[in-house]
Amino acid sequence: MMTFLNFLISGISLGSIYAIIALGYTMVYGIAKMLNFAHGDVIMVGAYICFYAISRFELPPVVGVVLAIAVCTVLGIVIERLAYKPLRSAPSLAVLITAIGVSYFLQNAALLLWSPNPKVFPSVVGDGKVELFDGKLTVSHVTIVTITACVIIMIVLTLFTETTKIGKAMRACSEDKGAAQLMGINVNATISITFAIGSGLAAIAGALLCSAYPTLIPTTGSMPGIKAFTAAVFGGIGSIPGALLGGLLLGVIEIFAKAYISTQLSDAVVFAVLIIVLLVKPAGLLGKQIREKV
Amino acid sequence: MKKKLLSLLLAAAMLFAMTACSSTSNSSTPSNAGTSTGSSAADNTAADGPVVFKIGGTGPLTGGAAIYGNAAKNGAQIAVDEINAMGGIQFDLRYEDDVNDAEKAINAYNTLKDWGIQISLGSVTSKPCEATSAETYVDRIFALTPSASSTAVLEGKDNQYQICFVDPNQGSASAQYISDKKLATKIAVIWKNDDVYSKGVYESFMAKAKELNLDVVSDTTFADGNDTDFSVQLTDAQSKGADLIFLPMYYQPASLILAQANAMGYSPKYFGIDGMDGILTMEGFDASLAEGVMLLTPFNADSTESKTAAFVKKYQELFGEIPNQFAADAYDCIYAYKQALENAGATSDMSNEELCDLMIKEFSSMSFDGLTGESMTWDESGAVTKSPKGMVIKDGAYVGLD
């Protein structure tokens, strides 16, 4: 029983990392209707900024994270301006390929700037842990912070898109860009803001990802990025609570598959579950089925 | 119109940035002592005499495995510079990027062929080397790989040699060592099942362990997509009472395993292979986590032996970091070639076939002393025989186990 609970906790901590990355994916997809495959690499950039701030310049972790958020937000806006904006009216496939290109560009730029040597990331929340049942169960602080951060981000994002003016503009853009523009909404600015927020979230995700699994290389963001994308699809891409649910479930399924089925087949099991879910609910767990009116 | 112009400009800027990236990565090796890497000017300087040999290899200079490719390239460059400064045999070295990908390695090899490669350093990592070794075999170009240790690199090819241990040797040597020294009663193995290197070592370890009646209680894997969380593997090992974990993998996932086991309060002994080398030089790594980790490695950067110490010093001066085993392997490759070419009296106006036959004859008969082992010899298959050094990490440094 205790091992089961321990696996559950490992699953949740892995899942919370996926969830926080998935939030960024789903945010950008929900508004701009594009898959930003460079998201994982923005995470990596955020983690490097944070690493250098803490390890080299010996700034307090909070400052490091804030700095990372600032840099990534700017980076997100720049990427959007240079790479995606010129393609606003191009078919979505072109944008998708561009996003993959940006992803490679960031990875290789990181290789040049920061060398391929792995770095060990200093945890931004310390290595403390909470022990339950006389130490039979342990939950690390990173997990608690990550889940708390996920929930806070989820609530704030939901409130933001539901109640603020910019949020309303975002929802309008996501429904119909052309109509939104006719109604006097600055679509370009709105999408830029979306990217800025998504990239800022990526920086937080980067700091937490590397605090939980402390090695940092230029490809650190890519695999978790893809897993998180899967999580976002699982939960219903575009749905903010869906990203959280999808992330947590994916993490738990992955750990349980490893523990109770086979360490060799864990990814196969994860994706099998994904396929089954999508067969039953094509829009994901919490995704909205949108009927096209003819 | 303005928009079009702007996007053109941006496209041009992007293109420029990309070419700038690739050119800096190519010229990141300081080209001193009259050698230049990867430039067409090399052809002119190379034409001076019949003793300049065009030697080349492919390796991951960018991408996730770039640390290994660059280390090998840098190590080889140091050896080439030293040899060229001595006079006598001269080398013209060129490394092409293969991004640790078999297809790209073939392209990279074709670039080398167009350049006029005479003797090859194969590829740095196993998967690409399996691809390029098939090509060098057909083209009759002799290849000595510094570090591609899988058996498939050698199988069925008479002109492919390795300076590193072939994977099975590492696995069985590790099992033998653990058994001889009675290091453990119950063993757990964690290996990477999408990596030929890890799998090769794992299989031979298991075969040897069975033969020696070692009790392997836990056998778990991970792969590229799920190489961050090891709680399941470690819990499995812990619950089955393993007192030693064998880690046939590179040091980056190993560092995560050490950290996570420590967080769980699980402290078994650890036994690694040559891929573990480098763990202490990771920036920010808490060396106390690796305290007591044992590994079999042919190269020890902390050695006080004069040749090694001089190499480490030079490498640090030029590249600002401590060389790993890949750098030392590549350094040895160049010196082994020097010895073989001198013994054979080879000249660079010989054809690839002639050179290839001479090299096969020399390598299968000579004995070579290098940084990664004394009196290395090669058998017909191309596998090297040298004795691995058992090391243990004490106070953040390697200490000999014996």
Cβ-based neighbours of B26, under 8 Å, separated by 6 or more: B37, B38, B61
* A8-49 confidence digits (pLDDT tens): 888 888 898 899 899 888 888 888 888 888 999 999 999 999
Interface of B with A in 229-248 (CB under 8 A): 229, 231-233, 235-236, 239
**A252 falls within a domain:** no
Measured from the Cβ of residue B12, the count of other Cβ atoms closer than 10 Å reads 10
Cβ atoms < 10 Å from Cβ of B219: 19
* pLDDT (tens digit per residue) in B38-94: 444 344 444 445 578 999 999 998 876 788 899 999 999 999 999 999 988 899 999
Side chain identity, residue B352: N
CA-based nearest distance A170→chain B, Å: 25
B229 chain-A contacts, CB cut-off 8 A: 10, 13-14, 213, 254-255
**What is the sign, positive or negative, of the torsion defined by CA atoms of B325, B327, B329, B331?**
negative
- pLDDT tier for residue B271 given thresholds of 50, 70 and 90: very high
Q: Is A200 a domain residue?
A: yes
In chain A, residues with a C-beta closer than 8 Å to the C-beta of B195 are: none
B64 at A interface, C-beta within 8 A: yes
State how beta strands B52-59 and B119-123 pair: parallel
Out of A118, A138, A223, the one facing B282 most closely (by C-beta) is A118
The first and second tokens of residue B41, run together, are 């000017």
Residues of A in contact with B263 (CB under 8 A): 127, 129, 138, 140
Q: Which tens digit of pLDDT belongs to each residue from B335-370?
A: 999 999 999 888 888 888 889 999 998 898 899 998
The whole-number pLDDT of residue B163 equals 92
Q: How far is A116 from chain B (nearest CA, A)?
A: 5
The reported pLDDT for the residue numbered B10 is 56
Domain span holding position A62: 14-227
Q: What is the pLDDT of residue B109?
A: 94
Complex prediction ipTM: 0.81
Domains B50-165+308-385 and B168-297 share a fold: yes
Domain annotation covers residue A279: no
How many A-B residue pairs are in contact by the CB < 8 A criterion?
116
Residue linked to tokens 């060799």: A264
Give chain A's domain count: 1
User: DSSP string spanning B101-168?
Assistant: -HHHHHHHHHHHHHHT--EEEEESSHHHHHHHHHHHHHTT--EEESS---GGGTTT-TTEEESSPPHH
CATH class of B168-297: alpha beta
Do the domain assignments include residue A75?
A: yes
Q: Which of B24, B222, B225 sits opposite A263 (nearest CB)?
A: B222
Question: Can you spell out the DSSP letters for B180-231?
Answer: HTT--SEEEEEEETT-HHHHHHHHHHHHHHHHTT-EEEEEEEE-GGG-S--H
Q: Identity (one letter) of the amino acid at B240?
A: K
pTM to 2 decimal places: 0.77
Q: Which CATH number fits domain B50-165+308-385: 1.20.120.140, 3.40.50.2300, 3.90.1150.10, 3.20.20.450?
A: 3.40.50.2300
Pairing state between β B90-97 and B119-123: unpaired
Domain residue spans in chain B? 50-165+308-385, 168-297
